[in-house]
Chains A and B, each alone.
Chain A
Amino acid sequence: MAQLSFGAVTLNPLHVLEDGLREILTATTGLARYRLERALAGVVVGASLALSGYLIQTTTRNPLGDPYLLGISSGALFAVVLTFALPASAITLFVVRPFVALAGGIIAYLLTLLIASKAGMTPTSIVLSGVAVGTFFYSASLFPQYFILRDIHKVFAWSMGSLVVVNISKPIAIAFALTVCTLYSCVSRNVLNALSISDDFVRDLGRDPSRERVILTAMAAILASFCVAYFGVIGFVGLASPHFARRLLGSGDARYIIPLSLVFGASMLSLTDVVAKTVFYPIEVPVNVIVSLVGAPTLAAIMVGMRRYAKG
């Protein structure tokens, strides 16, 4: 994990320009420290979304799977919108809101899980119940938004995602969750490989595919909920990182895809965050906008390019 983080951090040109890693790490004041925290956030959030996306794509066998497929972002959005009814104090902003968003995301996931389990816990049932729950919460969040027009730009800004770090404990909490989930995924690599091919193969391993789906989607949901709660909705990284990894390797084997997806997710978000905060200086563009604007054509180019390459 440490190796990965430093690898991705050193990819961040802002820090390469600094007088070396040690100085940054020992910096206690001002800009350097703030940037370090923000870089750390980029790395852990990018990697978490990538792992989450990989887990969702594998458990649902759906190449369009992303961390928000389970209704998490809509659940969190709905919960956050509700917090605008509270008095706008610092506590509301920095303590209540992330906690409520986390709870909203996890409740949405549990609801998706409940519906899916009643419907057999198959890949299709997970996708459909996730879409149902997501649509419901999204629409539900529009009601209060309509009546709190004066704050609508705040909801809007929140839903766009930003890596601004106000508290170092947030990226550290995500890093902890990420480490646990990465370790479990590595231990479960055989199950993940079997799940991405056929439930029969999972049964061959002596495991129950439905149960494995519950555990693995729960991990994806927790990672994504943390990211949404602390940094807003950052799309595309989770969808694209596993695809980048698979296309590059020409294989879908979990042993290679998990580490490579983590690196791609971390680098993608770190690099685009640098773009987001510099290109339109002094205005900071939401990182979500940049990552999608840059990432989507890249994914398209890679898909077309690899196809041509494969044909020889």
Chain B
Amino acid sequence: MLRVENLSVAYGGVNVIRGVSFELRPSLVALIGPNGSGKTTLLKAIAGMIPYSGEVFIGSTNLRSVHAGERTKYVTYIPSTISALPDMTIGDLLLSDNSADVALLERYVRIFGVENLLFRRIWEVSSGELERALLARGLARHAKVLLVDEPLSYTDVKYQLVIMRCLRRLANEGKVVIVASNQLNPLLNYVDHVLALKDGKLFINASLGAGVDEGKLSELYGVKMKVIVVNNTVDVVPVDETLSED
């Protein structure tokens, strides 16, 4: 349903994304990769928020043919940080989206536990609470493709699971949901597919059915990675070899 063909992005003469191509059915997808590998840039390009070369199709629609104001009906990018004017409240943030489905918004506000924060100023709430509010705002649109940038970075473990369950359900309902994050646990326990970026190129593009490839992950991050399975829960932990030297 989402097809990305030879997508490249250049910032000031430097190629940040270099010829990325992939095709995804409705599914929950992890987008992983080291800091600066281009995850956010790739998501923003797919969302049509920055200039790119190559093509992005959703279904049979080329996103270039969609009017800019209509794009969020197809694809929506959900950031995890903002730099708002002080005095804006969480309520202002949630209601600043006029394409939102208000009933849906109310549902997500409850699911993500932000209903008591509506009159708090943005700078007064914690990063995790802000992240949840941004997620509620972004999910309250009926976009076919959801691009979620670092939703797990600041949230506590309970809401990490709440968020992943919620995104899992959206994928089951027929959406393509791409989650950019390096929180491999819990991420890898919920996703169907893994995309990994390294230096702006697609390094891993694999369904998770075959299990997690330790070797590939080690190469991706440049440290030894070990897969541990406890009670059917997968965790991938970095192994610091200097710790076991003595």
Q: List chain A positions with a Cβ less than 8 A from chain B.
A: 57-58, 61-63, 123, 190, 193-194, 196-198, 200-201, 203-207, 243, 246-247, 250-253
Contacts and interface: CB of A to CB of B under 8 A. Distances in A.
Contact of A206 (B67, B85, B93): B67
Contacts of A61: 83-85
B73 to A, nearest CB: 11
A243 B70 CA distance: 34
Given A196-B84, A205-B69, A206-B68, 8 more contacts: A197-B93, A198-B79, A201-B82, A201-B96, A201-B97, A206-B67, A243-B87, A250-B89
Interface string B76-102: 110100111111110111011111000
Contacts of A200: 44, 49, 77, 79, 82
Contacts of B122: 197
Interface residues of B, number: 31
B72 interface: yes
Enumerate the 10 nearest inter-chain pairs by beta-carbon distance, A residue then B residue, closest first: A206-B68, A206-B69, A198-B82, A252-B88, A203-B49, A196-B85, A193-B96, A197-B84, A246-B87, A61-B85
Contacts, number: 74
A234 B180 CA distance: 49
A190 B98 contact: yes
A216 to B, nearest CB: 13
Contact of B91 (A62, A123, A251): A251
B71 interface: yes
Given A190-B98, A193-B92, A198 B72 contact: no
A206 B71 contact: yes
Contact of A252 (B68, B70, B77, B85): B85
B119 interface: yes
A198 B164 CA distance: 25
Nearest to B76: A204
Nearest to B134: A198
Nearest to B86: A63
Nearest to B87: A246
A245 to B, nearest CB: 10
B71 A197 contact: no
B143 to A, nearest CB: 10
A103 B223 CA distance: 62
A250 B88 contact: no
Contacts of A246: 87
A207 B86 contact: no
Contacts of A196: 84-85, 88, 92
A197 B72 contact: no
A198 B83 contact: yes
B97 A252 contact: no
A197 B92 contact: yes
A283 to B, nearest CB: 38
A5 to B, nearest CB: 27
Nearest to B98: A190
7 contacts: A196-B84, A197-B82, A197-B84, A197-B122, A200-B79, A206-B71, A207-B68
Nearest to A60: B85
A190 B95 CA distance: 10
B214 to A, nearest CB: 35
A240 to B, nearest CB: 13
A187 to B, nearest CB: 13
A204 B87 contact: no
A201 B76 CA distance: 10
B119 A250 contact: yes
Contact of B70 (A58, A190, A206): A206
Contacts of A57: 85
Nearest to A61: B85
A291 to B, nearest CB: 22
Contacts of A203: 47-49
A251 B97 CA distance: 15
A204 to B, nearest CB: 5
A194 B89 contact: no
B96 A194 contact: yes
A63 B88 CA distance: 11
Contacts of A123: 83
B87 A247 contact: yes
B92 to A, nearest CB: 5
Given A198-B79, A204-B72, A206-B69, A251 B89 contact: yes
